[in-house]
Structures are given as structure tokens and as C-alpha cells.
Structure 1
Amino acid sequence: MKKHYVIIGAGILGASTAYHLARKGEKVTIIDRNDQGKATNVAAGIVSPWLSQRRNKAWYQLAKNGAAYYPKLIKQLEKLGETDTGYQQVGVLNIHPEEKRIDKLLSIAKERKVNAPEMGELKKFDQDQIVKRFPLLTEPLFAAFATGGARVDGYKICLALIRVALKMGANMIEGDAKLFMEGGQVAGVCINDKVIKADEIIVTTGAWGQEVLLPLGVHFQVKPQKAQILELAYQNQNSDRWPVVMAPGTLYLLAFEKGRLVVGTTHEDDTGFDTRPTAGAIHEILTKAFEHAPNLQETTVVETKVGFRPVVPHSLPVIGRLSKFMNVLVANGLGSSGLTVGPYLGKELAKLALNEPLEIDLENYKLETAIQE
């Protein structure tokens, strides 16, 4: 008899886990309460870990694997009829006004390319070459360019994964799930005044991760980090093939079809779940953006989006089973790497639930590091 897997939280991580379990023919129920500020729905992801200067090896390995997995996943989804996944390889420009910074970054990337052929071609661009690729970047700059870089619309890829999981027999319920205890063990969930029995419960609730686990006496140390991004419109621009732009600090620029631009972002700690777009954040983002792309001042502000990244101690994702409740699995803490890492880590989480061998070393992402005794 098949096990029943209940997944609480249908952001990118939960959606991917559901997809991979359903693809194996397992019985899956997905539960989500569709919180305002869900990071996946707001984020416009950049898939380019190779040009990051973050040196943590465990993080890089996870992000590298995530980037490498995307093309395979997109092909799977396309074969299953999902062509609007929000993923597109357009290349990535990492820009800086100082040439020596770009030379250093290219040196790091060339070393990484030995084990990451998915990076594609690596090139160094001067200002003229940058403007040809991304016409708004008119100030003096140098850039490292990787052809394998991609952008992904979190909302679209998440929906595609869920749609396929549902086609394969998964069930989805909207509501606020609470863990159901029986005989001192977790036996399922309570949702909408009903009890759903389950063999395995998978908790992928992101920044809201504390709520579900607290009734078990588990003090899970995840906090919301507020992110604000701007959506702009630049009229009469054929921008769907413009590369992703990563700038110094936290600034990025993503171009989509018909002059739609996304500019971010802020990293706001200790604000709780404050969903308000703020004037200070908008000022911060635009001030940084105008330094490199002053013509953005001519664009139309469409909206400001607010989302909450899940951040855990050590800023490294965690994954595992609860030591006192072995049928409860938790993965969380993807932070600003959620859309790069999420689909791949969801695949690994599904394997863990199925007791299959993993590609990752769980010792590097121990769940216990995010649990306060």
C-alpha cells in the first residue's frame, strides 16, 4: 500500500517536492494557505551561482547543482505540456565600475567552470559591449558575462510544478494546516475542520516555518527577511532577450518581454511580516539603479512587490527529519537563493521522504543547526 505524503507549504520548495513525489506515483496532498508576501510569488529569480563571490562551499555546491538541474527540469515539464515555466537562459552580466573587480570575478568563475560546464561561455565586456546587450546601462562599466545564466519567474515555475503534480494525481487544499497528534506521534494534519491522516508530513513553509513546528515543542529558528522589488515599464522596447544584470551590493535588473523590468532589492531584517511597500526602500533601489542606468528615470512605475525570504542561522539551507518525530521532514532557509536552489532541493527532499540515496551530503545542511533546544 502506498504511503500518503502531506506537504505543508506550496512555494517553490514544496511545489518541487510534490512534483517529484507525484512523478514517482506516490499519493500526495499539497496544503497551502497562500500567505501574502510568499517569496516565490514575488521573486524574479537569477540563476547564476558561478558569478557569485559568496565563498561558502556548501552553499555553492547546492546552488551549482540547482543551476545545473534547471534545463533538465524544464525539458521534463515541457514534455508534460508545461511550456510557460517562466525560465529562460538569456545570460548574465555581472557589472562593476572597476575593471580589476571583474578580472578577479572572472578568475574565480574560470576555476569553477571546470566542474560547472552549464555556466556556458565566459566573456569580459567593455562598456560598448554591455550597452549592446542591455541598452539602459549607459554609465562606464566593465562586466563578466556567462551565457548559461538564466532568469526565472517564481510564480510561473511554481504553478507549472503544481499543475503537473495535480495531473499526476496529487490533491491540493487551501487552508491553515495544523499537525494532528495521535498516541504522542504526528499522525496527519487538521485542515478546514477535517483530519487528514498521513504517513509522512513534509513542512516547507518558508518564513512562516516556526508556526507549524512550535506545537511539537520544536523551536525552529527561521526569520522573515523583507524584500522589496520594483516593476517598471519601459515603452517600445524589445527586451525579452536582454541578459540578467547583477550589480555591486544587492542591486539587480531583470528584463522581460515588452519592456517589463524588475529592479531589486532590499534585505530588511527584524521587520516581521510587514507587507507595506515603503518610500525608503523605493528610494534605496532607484538610487542604486540610476547610478548605472540613469535612463530608468524615464520608465513607468508599475508596482512595488513585497516578499519574505526565509533566513536561518548561518544563512545556509537546512533539510532533514525531526529527531523526535521521524515522519516529519523539514526543509527551509533558502534565503535569497530560493529560486536557484528550490527545484533541486525539492527533488532531494522527495528522495529523502522515499528513503532513496541523495546527491547532497545532509551533514552540510543539518536541520539541528536551526533548532533551538
Structure 2
Amino acid sequence: MDNSIFNFCAGPAMLPREVMQQAQQEFLDWQGLGCSVMEVSHRSPEYIAMAKEAEQDLRELLSISDDYAVLFMHAGGRGQFFSIPMNLMPQGGVADHVVTGSWSRGAVKECQKYGQAKVVTDITYQGNNRGIAPQSEWQLSDNAAYLHYCPNETVEGVEFDYVPQVDAPLVADMSSCILSRQINVNDFGLIYAGAQKNIGPSGLAIVIVRKDLLGKARSDTPSIFDYQQQFKLDSMLNTPPTYAWYLAGLVFKWLKAQGGVAAVEEKNIAKAKLLYDFIDECDFYENRVVKHYRSRMNVPFYLADEALNDKFLQESKQAGLLALKGHRMVGGMRASIYNAMPIEGVKALTQFMADFAKKNG
């Protein structure tokens, strides 16, 4: 692996170097078994022990109490878009949704197939800058099965800096921010996260659900997406995504070795501040998110002269700065700086941006 290459992809995202090195070393011979972890039965004593340890490490990182089940599920984050209403919303029910970008809008679209998905607020704008309406302006339902929101929108770069306070169970799509900052799990009815940003490879989803919400799935819910059935069978109703689970376990141990979520959050604050401060101080670049709601994980930015976009992307790639093209829905550039991105990567990016502005301004 080249230390001078920094991958800013929004997902699948870079994994910690130490994790990749360990996985490489163990690839052909895991725990002295003479074969890969991908080749052993998920019901073997070795794999079951690893899976339980991964869950326990996650519980310790997030201080998850026994009141919550931790599930390792299939189909990534999008798989939860339909699993949540099938598990939590009764026939003919309503679920409130906060829309702050493309991912929370996707959850609405899926939920509408199973009941009423009420949008209580949509993304707001102050001029060209994206933001979030204050909770006092939300049009909440009296009888919602839950309220769904996305604390961090990967595409738009909009992030909540608070946890909404509602009577209904709070459901949070933390795919792009889980383990990046301290949270109180007890504030939520359900937390879910696709793994491919801060946890591991794509295909795996983590679901943390309060146990009193289990056992409410409608009768037509596929067994593999029924939270109660997965909980009873330790997330092994069928063969789980075994290698992704193994890598997630390595990432959890890496996070503990970094000092846990609190220590990682400090690093994330420093990385985001470095990049945003540079953008704000350089007229050549612009961020279009209200400062109060800027994401620590996903930093979209625009060149003053967007005719230079292709040149910027070509030269940044040559400089070892990968995947900086913004999402097609919003254009511009985007630097995703998840937990695994070291501050050296952000320094290299800001230095390149400074040099590029000087040459092309």
C-alpha cells in the first residue's frame, strides 16, 4: 500500500491501513486453520467466537446496553429502507420522515410502499446554502410508528448537530457517521448503518434496535429481514456476509486501539476544521452548506470556475488524491474524510488545492 495515496471515496470508503494489513496476513490462514475466514463455516466454534467478540466490541464502543439487540444484517443500508417499516409500522400506519437529502428521501420512497410516509420537513436553503429547518417547524404526526432521519447526508454534506426529541421511537440512518462521534444510544429506538463507510466492506448492515420494538413485524416480512427472527438466531438465520463481519470486527478493535469513539471524534473535528477553514479562506473554493449544519464526514465544495473541474480531478488523481468528484446530484467536488482518513490526507488535499488555485486563479 502506498502511503502517499489517499482515497476520499464516499463509499465503499478506505479502511484503516492496519486493518487491511492484518486481513492480508490472515487471508490464507486464519487462526492457524490453514484456510481463509471466508472458507470456514459460520457455525464453526472459531467463527462464532469471532462474531460474538465483534458484537461485544461494538457494544463497548457505543456503550450499548442489554436493552438493545445488535444485528448483523444483509443488503446494506438500503435494505433497511424497507425492513424498518415492515418491522415497525403496522398495516395502514404512518411513519414521520425528516428529509435533508437524497438518502432520507430514498427511505421515504421505500416506506411509501408499506404505509404512509409523512415528510415532516424537507431540506432548506439560505440562498445557495443547504440546511435543516428547526424542529419547532416540523409537522409531526400524533400517531407515528416512528420518526426516521439521517444524521449525516453523504451527498449533500448536511449533518445534524443535535438529536431530535420526539415522542415516537427515533430511527436514525447513521451509515456515514456511526462511530465518528459520541452518541447516547438510549436516545434512539433503532440505529442502522451500511458498513461501507466507517465499518467495513459493502453488503453488511448493522442494526441496533431496542428490544421492546422486536416482534412487531407484519406477516409478509421476509424472514431474513425480520429483526425478531434474526435476534433469536444471533443474526445467522442463514449464512451471513462472513468476510464483511470479520473485517468489521477488525475495525472495531482498531477503533478501540485509537482510544475509542471519543478519541476518534477529536481527530474528526480537527480534520473537518482544517478543510473547512481552508475552503472558507480561499476565494477559489466554496462550500454550500450552512455552517451550523456542515458534515464532518463528507465535505462538498465547488471551484469558482467550474470549467476547471475536469482539470482539478485529473491533476488531483495524479497527485494521489482519489475519488474527489462530487455526486452527480449536486456536482462539484466532495472529500469524504471518514474515521480511516488520517489528517495527513487532509493536509495533502489542502496543499494540492492551494497549489491548484495559485496556478489557475
Both structures adopt the same fold (TM-score exceeding 0.5): no
How high is the TM-score relative to the length of structure 2?
0.24
TM-score (norm 1): 0.24
